[in-house]
């Protein structure tokens, strides 16, 4: 699970706006966005206390990262991909962050994952699996779910991952078009639309697997039969003038019923 929406160079004063819903098993804890020191670079991100890593954040050089797991069970006993993400956020550029991921992803130890790294100059997806590779993104709107569509699914589990990933991808794309997000030039309007998209509950009309219907929702809610939920939702708007003028919003629950709190103040004091 997890859905990422990136607005890359579609707003003049904000070269990127990165939004993500984090979907995970209920009960998994996370701490709200905070400043983490790492040498000369500060990192601003929420932390998963279980792994000590993160899935989303930015650093003082303006590098942002968002992760979507391809393996459905983030509790599988492997090395933490969240730690790798946090390490990648020590890099001074998105290109170097992507290079770090390519160099340090270990198929034998880590879960398969898609990781988006972006700054004002580059946006790159690193597909981390048995044969890791990168994809450079052009300016525009990009949506990332939990599958690498360049690959054929092999197992039933992979097929299932593909189906719900495709639906969320299609639905989010449809909503960006409905709301004309690509033409939106105002930061707050763009953020407001992203919040609406991340709160969406639409499911495929032809779906006949009601047991797993929640897998298809961009904002998903757990139930007795469905052990997944959107644990949090985050939006970073990176200003062209640097991180001190940037915005970091975080909702510590389903975005449909949880207010986004403004954590931008943690970016202001970079001394």
Is residue 122 a contact point for Zn ion (CB under 5 A)? no
Is residue 2 a contact point for Zn ion (CB under 5 A)? no
Residue 214 gets which letter from DSSP?
Answer: G
Task: Tell me the closest approach of the beta carbon of residue 174 to Zn ion, in angstroms.
Answer: 17
- Binding-site size for Zn ion (CB under 5 A) equals 3
Q: How many CB atoms lie within 10 A of CB 149?
A: 11
Exposed/middle/buried for residue 35 (C-beta within 10 Å: 0-12, 13-18, 19+): middle
How is residue 147 written in tokens?
């599958």
Q: CA–CA distance from 6 to each of 182, 232, 257, 270 (Å)?
A: 11, 17, 22, 25
Q: 249-268 mask for Zn ion (x: CB under 5 A)? A: -----x-x------------
51 or 233, CB closer to Zn ion? 233
In DSSP notation, 109-176 reads TSPPEEEEEE-SS-EEEEEESSS-EEEEPPSEEEEE-S--TTS---SHHHHHHHHHHHHHHHHHHHHH
148 or 200, CB closer to Zn ion? 200
How is residue 82 written in tokens?
């969240």
Stretch of 18-26, 146-154, 233-241, 246-254 contacting Zn ion, by CB under 5 A: 246-254
Task: Tell me the closest approach of the beta carbon of residue 254 to Zn ion, in angstroms.
Answer: 4
145 or 254, CB closer to Zn ion? 254
83 or 201, CB closer to Zn ion? 201
Residue nearest to Zn ion (CB): 256
Is residue 213 a contact point for Zn ion (CB under 5 A)? no
Query: In whole angstroms, what is the distance from residue 146 CA to residue 128 CA?
Result: 12
Q: Which of 24, 219, 235, 267 binds Zn ion (CB under 5 A)?
A: 219
Is residue 193 a contact point for Zn ion (CB under 5 A)? no
By the criterion CB under 5 A, which residues form the site for Zn ion? 219, 254, 256
């Amino acid at each position: 699970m997890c859905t990422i929406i990136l607005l890359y160079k579609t707003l003049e004063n904000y070269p990127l706006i990165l939004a993500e819903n984090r979907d995970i098993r209920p009960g998994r804890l996370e701490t709200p966005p905070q400043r983490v020191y790492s040498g000369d670079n500060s990192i601003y991100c929420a932390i998963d206390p279980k792994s000590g890593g993160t899935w989303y954040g930015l650093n003082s050089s303006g590098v942002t990262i968002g992760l979507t797991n391809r393996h459905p069970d983030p509790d599988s006993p492997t090395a933490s991909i969240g730690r790798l993400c946090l390490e990648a956020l020590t890099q001074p550029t998105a290109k170097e962050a992507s290079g770090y991921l390519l160099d340090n992803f270990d198929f034998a130890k880590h879960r398969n994952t898609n990781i988006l790294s972006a700054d004002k100059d580059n946006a790159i997806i690193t597909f981390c699996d048995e044969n890791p590779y990168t994809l450079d993104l052009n300016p525009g709107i990009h949506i990332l779910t939990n599958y690498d569509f360049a690959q054929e699914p092999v197992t039933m589990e992979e097929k299932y991952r593909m189906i719900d990933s495709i639906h969320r991808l299609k639905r989010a794309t449809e909503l960006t078009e409905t709301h004309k997000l690509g033409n939106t030039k105002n930061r707050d309007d763009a953020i407001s639309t992203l919040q609406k998209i991340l709160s969406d509950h639409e499911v495929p009309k032809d779906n006949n697997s009601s047991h797993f219907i929640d897998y298809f929702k961009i904002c998903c809610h757990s139930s007795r039969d469905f052990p997944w939920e959107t644990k949090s939702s985050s939006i970073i708007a990176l200003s062209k003038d640097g991180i001190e003028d940037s915005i970091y919003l975080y909702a510590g629950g389903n975005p449909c019923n949880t207010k986004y709190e403004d954590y931008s103040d943690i970016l202001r004091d970079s001394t």
